[in-house]
Structure 1
């Protein structure tokens, strides 16, 4: 196990200050609403005060130091801005995990990516970490693939990668360096990731001063090779079947770490 010495989230019963409030965007029937519902149940089970807010109610929220905002990356970052927290921009493949990616990953412009695709080179593109709402990561392999991102300026910086075909993908949840759960989310779940690769990737991240809470996405190729797909920051990560209390603790731990930097 790889344990971090960073600030750990303390449940309400163990804290002297019991004023923390978790502000959660009211859950709905969308796939993203499930995350908010799981967070609501988890924080309530941990004894934290939970308050729901609507899409148009954010500006009226009374946020205090130590509070948490749950509602996807956008609302979380808006909450951090109001609380004076510097929102992190975590690389999807940190330097420590490049050896586990099994493919080239580089930064270019959207125009350069389009030219490569236009010349017959398949390429996967996604926005920079601080521009995730701009578009969803996509494979550019034909002219038709260019249409969904036609509104993106040629000058827009993007992350590019050689495409890899995975037969299955799993999301691992990492808390203080420990893998606390592993959930399949795409493909055949019987193609299980190699535990040795997972342990090695966790160790590499721990040595590189990783966040206290994050998601590690892994893919298995048709040849049986386990590769790192990407990582996602724990402050607004999707639940993907993680139990409510573990999910809430993951979010709370990362928010506590970020708040401690104030």
Structure 2
């Protein structure tokens, strides 16, 4: 197994997430190669892990006729959301101000950044001319702090705060129950959770493990999580399963 890591225009590793992966895989002794344009990458084998942005990873998976599933709000975790979530179209929300004061995000991963729509200016950057993407909508909830829980082979690796008041504390039992109830979970993923202004610990969303922000997760754990999910998607052996 080799590891291919994205470099930026300055010929350095493109961001801190990729550097954390580099550090983790380097500690385990794997051969590391670099690329700038995934479409020009040569010599790649199916078992070789790609460390890059979501679009790059999906592009490489598509070369092996693999499509990564969307998993923002798994059905078996609905009870942990604490709010209504539904699918719609961007045009429906944009053309119906009566439905505003709603959080929207694209079904297609990272097509645009999720946003609370309260006025027309909030819709800027949410679409491309001629497109009407399917979106996920939810009631607006005020989160005072948010954390990411990293899970590999059903085991919680760590929980890292990425936004909000550091004095706030989540209910760890909610996280444990989410992981326990997520029967269809992949081998590597992350659960974003938040504590509301009412003191509730709620599920924000689930993130697939093939391209994740590490938020300070130990680099060795981060690299192993990426490897676990890549090997599962490609149906190859996870050489970091130790």
Q: State if a TM-score over 0.5 links the two structures.
A: yes
Q: How far does residue 149 in structure 1 lie from its aligned partner after superposition? A: 2.6
Deviates most, 30-39 or 216-225: 30-39
**CA distance in structure 2 between the partners assigned to 1:177 and 1:31 by the alignment:** 30
Please, which of 169, 185, 195 is the counterpart of residue 172 of structure 2? 195
**CA distance in structure 2 between the partners assigned to 1:204 and 1:194 by the alignment:** 16
Please, which of 108, 112, 123 is the counterpart of residue 88 of structure 2? 108
Return the structure number with greater helix share: 1
Any stretches of 5+ residues in structure 2 without a counterpart? 238-242
1:3 aligned residue:
none
Question: Do the aligned partners of 1:24 and 1:50 also contact (CA within 8 Å) in 2?
Answer: yes
1:103-149 alpha-carbon deviations (Å, 9 max, x no partner) = 11110111112234x12631111111xx2343111110112212333
1:148 aligned residue:
125
1:127 aligned residue:
106
Structure 1 residue runs of 4 or more that deviate by more than 6 Å after TM superposition: 28-32
Please, which of 18, 27, 46 is the counterpart of residue 45 of structure 1? 27
**CA distance in structure 2 between the partners assigned to 1:46 and 1:225 by the alignment:** 40
Question: Do the aligned partners of 1:113 and 1:160 also contact (CA within 8 Å) in 2?
Answer: no
**CA distance in structure 1 between the partners assigned to 2:94 and 2:23 by the alignment:** 44
In structure 2, relative to structure 1, the CA distance for the partners of 1:122 and 1:57 (3 Å cut) is: closer
1:175-211 alpha-carbon deviations (Å, 9 max, x no partner) = 1111110000000122111011111111110xx2210
TM-score normalized by the length of structure 1: 0.83
2:78 aligned residue:
98
TM-score normalized by the length of structure 2: 0.90
Q: How far does residue 164 in structure 1 lie from its aligned partner after superposition? A: 0.8
Deviates most, 29-38 or 219-228: 29-38
In structure 2, relative to structure 1, the CA distance for the partners of 1:101 and 1:191 (3 Å cut) is: same
- The CA RMSD over aligned residues, in Å, is 2.3
2:4 aligned residue:
23
Question: Do the aligned partners of 2:80 and 2:178 also contact (CA within 8 Å) in 1?
Answer: yes
The count of residues paired between Structure 1 and Structure 2 equals 236
